[in-house]
Amino acid sequence: MSTVIEQSHSTASCEAAVEAFMERVIAQNPGEKLFHQAVREGVRSVMPIVLANPIYRQHQILERMVVPDRVISFRVTWVDDRGQVQVNRGYRVQMNGAIGPYKGGLRFHPSVNVGTLKFLAFEQVLKNSLTTLPMGGAKGGSDFDPHGKSDGEIMRFCQSFMNELYQYIGPDIDVPAGDIGVGAREVGYLYGQYRKLTRRFNGVLTGKGINWGGSFLRPEATGYGAVYFAQEMLATRDLEIAGKVAAVSGSGNVAQYTAEKLIQLGAKVITLSDSDGTIVDMDGINEEKLAWVMELKNVRRGRIREYADKFKGAQFLPGKRPWGVPCDLAFPSATQNELDGPDARALVQNGCICVSEGANMPSTPEAIEVFLENKILYGPGKAANAGGVAVSGLEMSQNASCMRRSREEIDAQLRKIMKSIHDNCVKYGAEDGDGGCCKPKGFVNYLNGANVAGFIKVADAMVQQGVY
C-alpha cells in the first residue's frame, strides 16, 4: 500500500476530532496524565492524515495504537544490606510490535508506574519507526530507587527483576536497554541473571559491556545523536555549533555525552544539573572538568553540587533548572516536563535559537507552544534522542551476525541515521509544504514532522498485517 498524504480537513474539524479522541483516551486510562500528554501531542500531529486517509479509520489505527499489545506487571522482592525484605513493582509495557521486536529501555525511579511507562512506550513506537530500523516499541522498569543503594543491593534487585522479566523477552521478541537509573552496571547484572536462567548467550539486552556483546558508542549515542540533530537543524539556517553557548540539564548518561560532543565541536557548555539543582560555570565545562563529572556521577555516584566546591568560579543554584541562564542552544537531558512555559519564555527572551531534546518529553505543551510561536529550531525528543535506540538497533544486528563494527563505522552510521531522521522531519513538517528538501524555505515544525513520519510507517504495517 502506498500512503496518500492528503490533509484536506480544516483545522477546526481536526481539533474537534482530537478532543473527541482524547476524551475516550482519558476515560479509558484514568489518572495517567503523562500518557494523555504524550498521546495528545502525537494525535494532534497525525489527525489530519488520519482524517484524510479512510484506510486508517477503517482499520481503527489510532484507536489500536493507544492500547498496548500487553502490559506485564509483577512483584520484585529482594533483601537489603540490613537483611530486611523489600518489595517493589516491576513492569514491561509492550506497546506495538508491527515493525519489529519490541525495543525500549528500563527505568528505575520512584516515580515509575504504568502510566509513566505507557507514555514512554508510546513515544518509543514513533521514535523507533523514525530510525528506519525494524524495531517495535516498549518500555519497562520499576519504582525501585537506586540512589544510595550499595552495589550488592542493586545486584540483588536486578536479579529479582530479571527472575520475572526473562519469560517475556528474547532477541526476536523484546530487547530492553537502559534509561533513567539503568546504566552499564544494571544492564550487566540483568544480563548475568538472564543468562543463568535461560542458559543462553544472545542479544536480549542492549547497552551490554564492550567485551560481552556490546556495541562501540552505545553509551555515547543518545547524547551525540542529540547534538548531531541540532547540527542538522542549525544547518538549515546556515548556522553551526562552534562558538555557541549551550545549556545542558541532567548529569547522567545523556547529559554527559551531549556535553562531550558539544565541547568537541567547539561549543561552550555552561550548565549541568540533577534533581537537587544546577551548576553554572561561565568559564565553560571543558574536557577535564567533564571527566571529573563522569567520575563523580558514574563511579562515586555523587551529586552535581560538588562541582561548585571543586571548581572555583562555578556556582550551584539549589532547586533551580538551567533555563534562566542565557544561552544559544538548550539540551534538556534529564526527565519529562523539566522545561515549562516560563522556562521556554526565558530561553527565547535570552536569545536561545535551538532546543534539542535528549530527554523524553522534557518540554511541557505550553513550552512547545512558545518554541513554535517564536519559530526557533525545536527538535522533539522522539527525533533528537533517537540516536540511542538507533545504536541499540545496530548492537542487535551486530549480535545477530556475530560481527563487531568499529567505533568509526558506528559513528558514521549514527550521523547518517540522525540526518535521515532530520530530513524526514523536514519532509513531513515543513509548513510551506516544501516536503522532500532538507533545506526548506519556510519554518519546519519538527514535532509534526517526527510524529507523522513515525506514524505512517507503523500505521501502514498494521494495515498490511490485518486485524490481529
| Binding site residues, ligand NDP, CB under 6 A | 178-181, 183, 222, 250-255, 274-276, 333-335, 338, 358-360, 385, 388
Nearer to ligand NDP, 39 or 239 (CB): 39
Give the whole-angstrom CA distance, residue 49 versus residue 17: 12
Rounded Cα–Cα distance for residues 2 and 369 (Å): 32
Query: Is 196 noted as a catalytic residue in this protein?
Result: no
Contact 205, 187 (CB under 8 A): yes
Return d(Cα 254, Cα 180) in angstroms, integer.
9
> Residue 380 or 429: which CB sits closer to ligand NDP?
380
Single-letter residue type at 16: A
**Listed residue (95, 96, 78) closest to 87, CA to CA:** 78
The cell numbers describing 355, all together, are 532546543
Q: How far apart are CB 156 and ligand NDP at their closest, in Å? A: 20
Question: Nearest-CB residue to ligand NDP?
Answer: 252
Q: Grid cell 546556515 — which residue?
A: 238
Least spacing, CB of residue 427 vs ligand NDP, in Å:
23
User: 85-96 and 137-142 as β-strands: parallel, antiparallel, unpaired?
Assistant: antiparallel
Would you say 48 or 141 has its CB closer to ligand NDP?
Answer: 141
Torsion of CA 213, 214, 216, 221, to 10 degrees: 150
Question: What's the grid cell of residue 43?
Answer: 494525535
Sheet strands (E) in 387-457: none
Strand order in the sheet with 377-379: 315-318, 277-280, 268-274, 245-248, 329-331, 354-356, 377-379
Q: How far is the CB of 409 from ligand NDP (least distance, A)?
A: 19
Residues 361/381, Cβ–Cβ less than 8 Å:
yes
Q: In angstroms, what is the minimal distance from the CB of 276 to ligand NDP?
A: 6
β-pairing, 174-177 vs 102-108, is: parallel
Burial of 19 per CB tally in 10 Å (0-12, 13-18, 19+): exposed
Q: What one-character DSSP code corresponds to residue 158?
A: H
Distance CA 415, CA 21 (A): 37
The three-point CA angle 106-418-213 to 5° equals: 45
Of the residues 103, 139, 261, 289, only one is catalytic, namely 139
Contact assessment for residue 359 and residue 254, using Cβ atoms and an 8 Å cutoff: yes
User: Any idea what DSSP says for residue 283?
Assistant: T
**Residue 467: Cβ within 10 Å count:** 9
Q: Which residue, 298 or 315, is less far from ligand NDP as judged by CB?
A: 298
Residue 89 φ/ψ, nearest 5 degrees: -105, 140
Q: Which three cell numbers stand for residue 213?
A: 556483546
Q: Which is nearer to ligand NDP, 430 or 453 (CB)?
A: 453
C-alpha cell at 426: 523536514
Cell numbers at 274, concatenated: 540533577
Q: In the bound complex, what is the minimum distance in angstroms from residue 254's beta carbon to ligand NDP?
A: 4
CB of 261 to ligand NDP, least distance (A): 14
Amino acid at position 423, single letter: D
- Shortest spacing between CB 437 and ligand NDP, in angstroms: 28
Q: How far is the CB of 111 from ligand NDP (least distance, A)?
A: 7
Q: Based on CB atoms, which residue is closest to ligand NDP, 206 or 231?
A: 206
Residue 202 grid coordinates: 544472545
Question: Would you name the residues annotated as active-site residues?
Answer: 139
